Amino acid sequence: MKILIIGGGGREHALAWKIAQSPKVTELFCAPGNPGTAQVATNLDIPADDIDRLLAFALEQSIDLTVVGPEQPLVLGLADRFQEKGLKVFGPSAKAAQLEGSKAFSKELMQKYNIPTAAYAAFDDPDAARAYLKGKGPQVVKADGLAAGKGVFVCANEAEALDAIGQIMNDKIFGESGSRIIIEERLEGQEVSLLAFTDGITVLPMEAAQDHKAVFDGDTGPNTGGMGAYSPAPVFTPELKQEVIQRIMVPAVNGMRADGIPYQGVLYAGLMITPNGPKTLEFNARFGDPETQPLMMRMQSDIVPIMEACADGTLDTCSLEWKPDTAVCVVMAAEGYPGSYEKGRPIHGLDPANSLPGVTVFHAGTKQAGEDIVTSGGRVLGVTALGDTVQKAIEKAYQAVEKIQWQGAQYRKDIGQKAL
């Protein structure tokens, strides 16, 4: 099989690393990829959102399966355009990707199908949004559209919520993504990510993972795309998992189908485990980053037949095996991230870190510059280790992290502690 992966971050390196191990694969391409994907695939100099060129390449090469990493090409209709030409895609249509692309859409689906989530209201008018806040407890203000994971303000009080409305709707810091907002009750608890494969009918859940969104230790500082992740998540008991599958994942997939928008690909549920049970914070239409890095390290089964079955509608014939080990991924980021940061700093120690047993260094924001690999993004590397206990996985991941240096590298020192 010839497979094309779309994207160029840490998630895509982890997907490429896993897909390359499949005996079914004869050729693997990644557009645009990064120096990590270049170790296992042929990188293409085509941006992830240039659907015309991606489609031309896939047709010319007779690609058997295209796997879409990021949300943007899905929301832009990559799957629809490829399928019109008879090409097989792992990932939802543009309409189905609204589950991530529009928070109002996903909240309406949850309300319609009784999927547990925070109480909310949607607004097009900032004054109406401000009026709604009166007398409410702590709220969360979210831009409706895509905002690269940064469109959510978790507010402690009304003043903060008013400020968030002003930034999103009046100052338009997320552009048109903020023409509409969602205001919802602030939930308390531990967060868990549950990802499932689906062909639109069958739901095949993966193991749970836990992300670390805040930039600093102890979950302090501003939210990022994710500073580290681990799997499994001990807080997520088998009973909780069953409850989430029955009350959240299956109703979402069935609801989409009933509404005439069948959903195929990965369904990612961001969950808050509250004292009143699990509630849905958001749905994403893709694999999580960095959750994918530990998940791919733990997945025992060949992922390629499962992705094909999602595209073919035959997922009922598939099952998934996992390594019992824990995987821990520590994200190493550029100085200043999630604010502005410098690029082009040479990275040292990649090979010694990567050659430690049970360790894989997944590249995210890196670039080849002559002989050097240099930083080229905010989240630079996902240093991931497997261990037969949580403690050992944490120790191994940090041993590897300590072998890697560049000027200004920052990382959290407490990834995985919640699992102990």
Q: Residues in the site for ligand AMP, rule: CB under 6 A?
A: 118, 140, 142, 152, 154, 184, 186-187, 191, 213, 223, 270, 281-282
One of 12, 184, 191, 291 touching ligand GLY (CB under 6 A): 291
Binding mask 401-420 for ligand GLY (x = CB under 6 A): --------------------
Dmax (CA) for the chain in angstroms is 61
Q: Which of 100, 175, 169 is nearest to 132 (CA)?
A: 169
- Provide the angle, in degrees to the nearest 10, between the axes of the packed helices 250-258 and 103-112: 100
**Which residue's CB is nearer to ligand AMP, number 179 or number 391?**
179
Beta strands in 371-418 (DSSP E): 372-375, 379-387
**Min. distance of Cβ 215 from ligand AMP in angstroms?**
13
Q: Which of 195, 402, 190 is nearest to 296 (CA)?
A: 195
Which part of the chain contacts ligand GLY (CB under 6 A), choosing from 122-130, 256-264, 284-292, 354-362? Answer: 284-292
**Min. distance of Cβ 210 from ligand AMP in angstroms?**
11
**Which residue's CB is nearer to ligand GLY, number 284 or number 360?**
284
189's torsion region: left (phi>0), alpha (psi -120 to 50) or beta? left
Backbone angles phi, psi at 179, to 5 degrees: -70, -25
CA-based torsion, 5, 383, 294, 336: positive or negative: negative
Distances (CA, A) of 149 to 53, 213, 328: 27, 10, 21
**Which residue's CB is nearer to ligand AMP, number 10 or number 36?**
10
One of 10, 33, 228, 288 touching ligand GLY (CB under 6 A): 288
211 near ligand GLY (CB under 6 A): yes
**Min. distance of Cβ 363 from ligand AMP in angstroms?**
24
The contacts found for 298-302 with CB under 8 angstroms, 24 or more apart, are 298/207, 298/231, 298/232, 298/322, 298/323, 298/325, 298/327, 298/386, 299/18, 299/206, 299/323, 302/21, 302/22, 302/23, 302/24
| CA 310 – CA 68 distance, rounded (Å) | 13
**Min. distance of Cβ 140 from ligand AMP in angstroms?**
4
| CA 208 – CA 193 distance, rounded (Å) | 6
Give 291's contacts (C-beta < 8 A, 6+ positions apart).
Answer: 193, 195, 209, 211, 226, 229, 231, 268
| Contact (CB, 8 A) for 297 and 262 | no
Which part of the chain contacts ligand GLY (CB under 6 A), choosing from 234-242, 281-289, 318-326, 379-387? Answer: 281-289
**119-158 positions binding ligand GLY, by CB under 6 A:** 149
| CA 296 – CA 309 distance, rounded (Å) | 18
Give the H or E element holding residue 270.
strand 265-274
**Min. distance of Cβ 102 from ligand GLY in angstroms?**
15
186 touches which of ligand GLY, ligand AMP, none (CB within 5 to 8 A by kind)? ligand AMP
**Min. distance of Cβ 213 from ligand GLY in angstroms?**
7
The β-bridge partners of 279 are 272
Binding residues for ligand GLY, how many (CB under 6 A)?
7
**Which residue's CB is nearer to ligand AMP, number 100 or number 325?**
100
100 near ligand GLY (CB under 6 A): no
**Which residue's CB is nearer to ligand AMP, number 55 or number 267?**
267
One of 37, 280, 284, 293 touching ligand GLY (CB under 6 A): 284
Which part of the chain contacts ligand GLY (CB under 6 A), choosing from 58-66, 134-142, 234-242, 282-290? Answer: 282-290
154 touches which of ligand AMP, ligand GLY, none (CB within 5 to 8 A by kind)? ligand AMP
One of 73, 145, 226, 294 touching ligand GLY (CB under 6 A): 226
Give 52's contacts (C-beta < 8 A, 6+ positions apart).
Answer: none
Look up residue 218 and give its two tokens: 């102890």
> Which residue type is seen at 269?
A
**Min. distance of Cβ 107 from ligand AMP in angstroms?**
10
**Which residue's CB is nearer to ligand GLY, number 129 or number 227?**
227
273 touches which of ligand AMP, ligand GLY, none (CB within 5 to 8 A by kind)? none
**170-209 positions binding ligand GLY, by CB under 6 A:** none
289 near ligand GLY (CB under 6 A): yes
Distances (CA, A) of 259 to 81, 100, 255: 21, 16, 6
Residues lying near ligand GLY in the complex (CB under 6 A) are found at 149, 211, 226, 284, 288-289, 291
